[in-house]
Amino acid sequence: MARKLFDICWQIVFLWLVFRCGVWLVGALNLSLPGNVAGMLIMFALLASGIVKPGLIEAGSGFLLKHFAFFFIPISVGLISFGGLMRQSGLELLVILIVSALVGAAVTGTAVQQLQQRRDR
């Protein structure tokens, strides 16, 4: 049990360090990209190149995904302070969220289908 807890802790620290590297890189190069996105790109490059094996971050990332809903509590509480904005522009924001989610799902579905067809050839 202690070994698993230790693995989860250091893997989360590693994921946090990759995130911080992304934030630092964006600041150092003055990129117009969010630091968390740069961190995800760094992690993708590490995984795709084989430098980091998926098993090395599996326990920590699994723990974070298992408790993912917990991370939305501060966001939900923060939205309460924007009640006036929600009353004024809530419908427009809802439409934007729905349309962007549908576009994202459509693009992802199309890309997966094309990659699957390419693999089947």
- Lowest mean pLDDT, pick from 22-26, 38-42, 77-81: 77-81
Residue 77 resides in a domain: no
Q: Which domain holds residue 59?
A: 1-71
Reference 23, options 5, 7, 32, 35; nearest CA is 35
Q: What is the pLDDT of residues 45-65, one digit of tens each?
A: 999 999 999 999 999 999 998
Residue 76 confidence (pLDDT): 77
Q: Taking the model in full, what pTM does it have?
A: 0.64
Residue 89 confidence (pLDDT): 87
Q: Calculate what percentage of the chain has a pLDDT beyond 70.
A: 100
Region 30-37 average pLDDT: 92
Residue 79 resides in a domain: no
Q: What is the mean pLDDT of the chain?
A: 91
Q: Is the dihedral of CA 11, 12, 16, 18 positive or negative?
A: positive
Same domain, 88 and 67: no
Same domain, 63 and 112: no
Residue 78 resides in a domain: no
